[in-house]
Structure 1
Amino acid sequence: MRLTIGQLAGATGVPASAIRFWERHGLLPEPERQGGQRRYPPEAVERIVVLRKCQQAGLTLAEIREFQLKQSLRQTMIRSKIIEIEQRMVDLDHAHQLLTHALRCGEEDIVMCPKFREQMADWSRQA
């Protein structure tokens, strides 16, 4: 059973305007038409889930397009994106440590806190 754009939007939680945008930019295959209406195969739901996950991972439209290429053509982009994501994870962990410490820290100026200064030194050694 083929889905209308409204049904696809409802099933994925993605606005129809975003679905049309992705089509225009080659991220979704052109759907067949019935009576002038777009009709999507059921697997379009999974494709949209992948597109959303790629966006949430920080991939650009060009990277998402590349992600959809043959495996051998996308390997370099994927490897570099994994490195970028791993660095963001480290940065987020450091931010979490800083904020968690700041909640408990009794120092007026957190930069002067000996425990925080020690943590910053650890971060510098890790880099």
Structure 2
Amino acid sequence: MELTVGQLAERSGVAVSALHFFERQGLLTSTRTAGNQRRYRRDALRRVAFIRIAQRVGIPLKEVAAILALLPDNRTPTREDWARVSACWQDELDRRMRHLQQLRDDFTACVGCGCMSLAACPLVNPGDKLGNEGAGPRRLLTS
């Protein structure tokens, strides 16, 4: 059974306009009826869920499209297909998690102490040693 754009929107919780946008970006595909109405295969629900999850963690739609392109077009993706494409992001997600943990753990000490002057901070940056490494929040830019 195929879904209309309205049914896909209702089931996925995504606005019709967003589904049209996803289709223009190559993230979804539809067929057209004789009356030129869009129809989506049921696996579009999983694709939309995948897109929404990727957006939630900040993965650009261009990268989402590249991963979705690895899924088969001629059949509904299996659990193994989804596991394979999900594994493509494992390293990137791990890196993002490390950066978020570092931000959580170091940001308060780095900026929240109230001195607002890393050059003068005798605890975190004595002698402005971080300033010699370059501009920006040096402690938060390391991986």
Structure 2 residue 16 is the aligned partner of structure 1 residue 16: yes
**TM-score calculated relative to the size of structure 2:** 0.57
1:43-90 CA-partner distances (Å, limit 9, x unpaired)? 21111111222223433233222212268xx98xx3xx5433322211
% identical aligned pairs: 33
Higher relative contact order (CA 8 A, sep 6+): 1
Number of positions where the alignment pairs a residue of Structure 1 with one of Structure 2: 115
- Name the SS for the 2:3 alignment partner: coil
Extract unaligned runs of 5+ from structure 1: 118-122
**Which residue matches 1:91?**
99
Structure-1-length-normalised TM-score = 0.62
What is aligned with 2:29? 29
Gaps spanning 5+ residues in structure 2: where? 72-80, 126-138
Q: Specify which structure has the higher proportion of helix.
A: 1
RMSD of aligned alpha carbons? 3.5
Superposition pairs of residues 8-87 of structure 1, within 5 angstroms: 8-33=8-33, 35-68=35-68, 69=70, 78=88, 81-87=89-95
CA distance in 2, matches of 1:59, 1:84: 9
Q: Find the aligned partners of 2:15 and 2:43 in 1 and give their Cα distance.
A: 17
